[in-house]
A = this chain, B = another copy of it.
Amino acid sequence: MREKPTLLNKTVIAESRLFRIESLDIEFSNGEQRNFERLARGRPGGAVLIVPLLDKETVLLVREYAAGVHRYELGLPKGKTDAGETFIEAANRELKEEVGFGARTLFHLSSFSIAPAYLEHMTEIIIAKDLYEEKLQGDEPEELEVVPWKIDDIGGLIATGECTEARSIAALFMTLNYLKGL
């Protein structure tokens, strides 16, 4: 494999409550230099996407307003870690807030990048099972609709047109393989 390109210079171009835009000057191993812009991770911590398994065949999805695309999106519950929380703790809290269940068993399945060419963000995928009812009050502007879905019908889910997020789709396929023992 090639040598990793060298970061010559990094500056912050713009910053808002949620985002920080950085400019990177990069030199490749062949001497070529380029400027890149990327969206840097805002505050410390990270993001989790939770796969809540009600049983071996059923995953719990949520229908939630998504401001980026300005419509409701059907997908896996997700959220950001609070200060001092591990990814597992954040996943269980978000599960209680968004879905109304806690999990007795949680484990890390995978780490996804979203658009690695221009986003620094990573998302940790956490499987949650052995669920029990427990509701925590979150900061959601409205109650989320919880939608149970047969996890072997990912094609049917995509065909609804309501589930478009690559992270949810990839996590569901990986969970299906995990459940099949693949």
Contacts and interface: CB of A to CB of B under 8 A. Distances in A.
Q: For this complex, into which size category does the number of interface residues on chain A fall?
A: 35 or more
Contacts of A114: 114-115, 119, 165-167
Stoichiometry, copies per complex: 2
B69 A36 contact: no
A141 B117 CA distance: 14
Contacts of A96: none
Interface in A17-37: 17-19, 21, 23-24, 26, 28-30, 32-34, 36-37
Interface of A: 1-2, 4-5, 7, 13-19, 21, 23-24, 26, 28-30, 32-34, 36-39, 63-73, 75, 78, 110-123, 141-142, 145, 155, 158, 164-167, 169-171, 173-174, 177, 182
